[in-house]
Amino acid sequence: MKIIEREAKSIYTRTKLPGIEYTINQYVGCGHRCAYCYARYMSRWKDYGQWGTWIEVKTNAPELAKEKIGGEVSMSSVSDPYQPLEKERKLTRRVLENMDKNTNLSILTKSDLVLRDIDILKKFKNLSVGLTVNCFPEKVRKILEPHAPKSERRIKALKKLNKEGINTFCFISPVIPKLTEVRKVLKKTKGIVDYYLVEVLNTRLGGENFREILKNKFPESYEYLKDRKKMEKFVELLKDYLETAKIPIAAFVGHWRENYYKE
Ligand code: SF4
């Protein structure tokens, strides 16, 4: 993995993402190397090579994070704040230490490394911490999320955060027919999260390589994604199921309609 260190001009970026006003990315690039990573478009603007082979470290991020920000801030959109590199760099930790504790902040990660920073997280007055949980079977996770912790560890992290009194959410993503075990996620996270976000796979952002992986390794799922009617039915059933499960769902995200695969 190539590590590029640079100084950034600012760290809070205005966004049009629904429900948030700013994103904060102290890293660009991610060592979790998820096959479907939506942030791969960043490679177009960064001349460092293929997505998943480099990480940009914004060395002055802790200093820049001191700026007071009004509005909802999301950490992070083009990296995971608790990716493996964070263990040694402690950049996210230093950013959090310097941030105004009144910031309306939501943190999303796939790693239980977030537990290391509970002492700082508890100082924030308007914070929610989310873990992505999809309960992919192990052989699937090894292909789609090769360097991210297993779902079990993510669930344990949610449990601990909840026990510590931190507002938690579970991001069920990406929902892929025949691969994502939504029922299992709900069963295992019952009572330990404050709300859920559910997101059906965005095939366009997943990219061409991911399409090939699905086609070759998970043809049953691929069949769904290239058949609009099948996908419509799948999403309809999923929504029905979530409704009957009576869980607090803050958002159901799905751009699959425009982006289903065409051959
Ligand atoms: S954890 Fe998130 S940012 Fe990192 S590779 Fe996976 S999808 Fe991309």
- Structure-token match 């192990």, residue found: 138
pLDDT value at residue 44: 83
- Cα(138)–Cα(127) distance, integer angstroms: 31
* pLDDT average, residue stretch 212-230: 93
Mean per-residue pLDDT of the chain: 94
Q: Is 131 in the pocket of ligand 1 (CB under 6 A)?
A: no
Whether 80 is in the pocket of ligand 1, judged by its Cβ within 6 Å, is yes
> CA-to-CA distance for 209 and 220, rounded, in angstroms?
17
Q: How many Å lie between the centroid of ligand 1 and the Cα of residue 79?
A: 6
**CA-nearest residue, atom 8 of ligand 1:** 37
Give the pLDDT confidence score for residue 258 in this predicted structure: 57
Q: End-to-end alpha-carbon separation of the chain, Å?
A: 34
Question: Residue with the nearest Cα to atom 3 of ligand 1?
Answer: 79
Nearest ligand 1 atom to alpha carbon 40: 8
Superfamily of domain 2-259: Aldolase class I (3.20.20.70)
Could you tell me the pLDDT band of residue 250, with boundaries at 50, 70 and 90? confident
CA distances from 141 to 2, 40, 57, 82 (A): 24, 19, 26, 18
E-assigned strands of 21-175? 22-24, 27-28, 54-58, 72-75, 104-109, 126-132, 167-175
Which helix (H) or strand (E) segment is 199 a member of?
strand 195-200
Residue with tokens 């290239």: 226
Taking only the tens place, the pLDDT of each residue in 127-162 is 999 999 999 999 999 999 999 999 999 999 999 999
Mean pLDDT of 222-239: 91
Q: How far is the CA of 210 from the centre of ligand 1 (A)?
A: 13
Model confidence at 181, pLDDT cuts 50, 70, 90, reads very high
Evaluate if residue 204 carries a pLDDT over 90.
no
pLDDT tens for each residue of 56-80: 999 999 999 999 998 999 999 999 9
Q: Using the mean position of ligand 1's atoms as its centre, give its distance from the Cα of residue 244 in Å.
A: 30
Q: What's the mean pLDDT in 178-197?
A: 96
Question: Which atom in ligand 1 lies closest to the alpha carbon of residue 79?
Answer: 3
Report percent pLDDT > 90 for the chain.
83
Q: Return the domain boundaries, the chain.
A: 2-259
Nearest ligand 1 atom to alpha carbon 36? 7
> Is residue 34 in contact with ligand 1, taking CB distance under 6 Å?
yes
pLDDT at 81 over 70: yes
SS3 content of the chain, % helix, strand, coil (to 5): 40, 20, 40
Please spell the DSSP secondary structure of 8-66, one letter per residue: -S-SEEE--STT-SEEE-SEES-TT--TT-GGGGGGGT-TT-STTSEEEEETTHHHHTT
Q: How does DSSP classify residue 179?
A: T
Q: Is the pTM for the entire model greater than 0.75?
A: yes
Cis check: omega of the bond before 76, within 30 degrees of 0: yes
